[in-house]
Amino acid sequence: MEEQPNEVEKVLELFGGDARKALHAVLSDCHHLHEQLRLTSGAMSVGFTRGWLPRDRRIDG
């Protein structure tokens, strides 16, 4: 059975093996999504989310 490439390898392949370009793209996407979450959070009512509010940073654990 052939092993499937992992996500990191797929991303690096998309950027021709250039890790700096790949990291820059991933960080840019992360910043964009963070901003979209911030904007959406301001537009959602507490009733709609039943009190749930998104965190601005991921909590590992």
CA distances from 2 to 5, 14, 16 (A): 9, 20, 22
Structural domain boundaries of the chain? 7-46
In percent, the amount of the chain with pLDDT more than 90 equals 41
pLDDT at 15: 96
Query: How many other C-beta atoms lie within 10 A of the C-beta of residue 37?
Result: 13
Whether the pLDDT of residue 4 is over 70: the answer is no
pLDDT: which is higher, 20 or 51:
20
Whether the pLDDT of residue 29 is over 70: the answer is yes
pLDDT, one tens digit per residue, over 35-58 is: 888 888 777 766 666 766 666 667
